[in-house]
């Protein structure tokens, strides 16, 4: 059973903020939310992770709802190089495995 649900595809205009949603309604208390992305024919790239607080780094921001049942990855100023498949993954702290779902194919439009 998939732990996360993401829309299969999204478009975003270049220069605008890209907001990628993820539902994880069955998340348990010790599970983190991780985001990775995969540019075509490359290995996945780590973006960000969080437990319950909002997080920001040089790549993106992660907004987690108070009930932790959903989250949003925000790319503040999308560029053409952000076109990729974005994976939202929920895994427990200390659990080594990452289980990839189908992800969201984000296309940045010039």
Partner 1 sequence: GAVVSQHPSRVICKSGTSVKIECRSLDFQATTMFWYRQFPKQSLMLMATSNEGSKATYEQGVEKDKFLINHASLTLSTLTVTSAHPEDSSFYICSARGLAGRSSYNEQFFGPGTRLTVL
Residue placing its CB nearer to partner 1 in the complex, 7 or 101:
101
Residue placing its CB nearer to partner 1 in the complex, 14 or 61:
61
Residue placing its CB nearer to partner 1 in the complex, 7 or 44:
44
Residue placing its CB nearer to partner 1 in the complex, 70 or 103:
103
Q: How far is the CB of 36 from partner 1 (least distance, A)?
A: 8
Per residue, the 3-state secondary structure of the chain, as one string, reads CCCCECCCEEEEECCCCEEEEEECCCCCCCEEEEEEEECCCCCCEEEEEECCCCEECCCCEEEECCCCCEEEEEECCCCHHHCEEEEEEEEECCCCCCCCCCCEEEEEEC
Integer Cα distance of 31 and 45 in angstroms: 20
Q: How far is the CB of 106 from partner 1 (least distance, A)?
A: 15
Integer Cα distance of 77 and 110 in angstroms: 12
Q: How far is the CB of 80 from partner 1 (least distance, A)?
A: 20
Name the site residues for partner 1 (rule: CB under 8 A). 32, 34, 38, 41-46, 49, 87, 91, 93-103
Q: How far is the CB of 15 from partner 1 (least distance, A)?
A: 26
């Amino acid at each position: 059973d998939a732990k996360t649900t993401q829309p299969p595809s999204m478009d975003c205009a270049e220069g605008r903020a890209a907001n990628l949603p993820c539902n994880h309604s069955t998340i348990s208390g010790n599970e983190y939310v991780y985001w990775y992305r995969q540019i075509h024919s490359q290995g996945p790239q780590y973006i960000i992770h969080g437990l319950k607080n909002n997080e920001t780094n040089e790549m993106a921001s992660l907004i987690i709802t108070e009930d932790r049942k959903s989250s949003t990855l925000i790319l503040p100023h999308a560029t053409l190089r952000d076109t990729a498949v974005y994976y939202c993954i929920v895994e427990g702290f200390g659990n080594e495995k990452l289980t990839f779902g189908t992800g969201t194919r984000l296309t940045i439009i010039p």
